[in-house]
Amino acid sequence: MARMLPVPVTALPRVQDRMTFLYVEHCVVHREDGALTARNDQGTVRVPAASLIAVLLGPGTSVSHQAMCLLGECGTTAVWVGERGVRYYAHGRSLATSTRLLEEQAARVSSPQKRLRVAREMYCMRFHGEDVSGLTMQQLRGREGARVREIYRENSRRTGVPWTRRDYRPDDFEASDPINQALSTAHAALYGVVHGVIVSLGCSPGLGFVHTGHERSFVYDVADLYKAETTIPMAFDVVAEGMEDLTGTTRRRVRDKVFELQVIERAVKDICSLLGAEEQDDLSVNVVSLWDYQRRVVAGGANYSEEDAGGW
């Protein structure tokens, strides 16, 4: 196989222009030129790697080194998922070569006042514009808890699917009832998409504003903005219809809903808004600078000794 040169980041599709995710299991994943291939006894499927936001690699999947290189070059998130898709293990490189969003995210997380402001903005998005500017985090959590309970009850009444409480058991998936299995599967798929958006923009999945202390805290923050209209109603619908392939049907429905509601495009816009950036800002500027306490940044690649010795 001839050596393929890496694709310049500037030549790749923007994250908001990509498809949702591809889920594969019990197959061999390889590459042919710029295409990702999945092969099993039934044949081979080819997908342009740069068109995907995430690839979910299920049980029984073998992935070649060339395939992982392709995913890394394209900024496509590679996600190893366990049984029923409720585990999450890895991600690819960022499409952004600028750290501007990451630095702004870190600055806002590190300031209690700025962090509270962002958290309020997130809750405002969930509450559809309701004024929460004077609420504390405790009050916001209480209002969100009541809202989520009502969303579950509303979907239960709408579909006739019995609902008691959220029961998530990643180590014993079968122990949960069908609606909790469907919710776990749906949320895992949404997390994969949101994680892909976050790392593609150059942000940190772990620096959350509402959630904290977990490597995907920001993933949970952003995914929570869309659950009420995507994963929750889809899970209740699938269970109400009595589908035999519960997890597979749920994943496909969520994938279609994410595309229909333009969740990827909205996530890009919402993240940029929360971090004080414009969606059209150029995050591909590939410049390495040096930090300076007084001047913030100075040019890199230069020798700053008193004797002019040139750069490295």
Indicate the SS3 state at residue 58: coil
Handedness of CA 14, 15, 21, 27 (dihedral sign): positive
In 10 A of CB 166, how many CB atoms?
13
Contact 191, 251 (CB under 8 A): no
94/116 Cα distance (integer angstroms): 27
Polymer length of the chain: 312
- Binding-site positions for Mn(2+) read 144, 211, 224
Distance CA 213, CA 240 (A): 36
Cross-strand partners of 290: 298
Distance CA 62, CA 48 (A): 19
Looking up tokens 């929570």, which residue turns up? 224
| 3-state percent breakdown (helix, strand, coil) of the chain, nearest 5 | 45, 15, 40
Q: What are the distances in angstroms from CA 189 to CA 45, 88, 154, 254?
A: 21, 10, 23, 7
- Annotated binding residues, written as ranges, equal 144, 211, 224
CB atoms within 10 A of CB 297: 10
Alpha-carbon gap, residue 123 to 138, rounded angstroms: 12
Provide the pairing of β-strand 52-57 with 27-32. Answer: unpaired
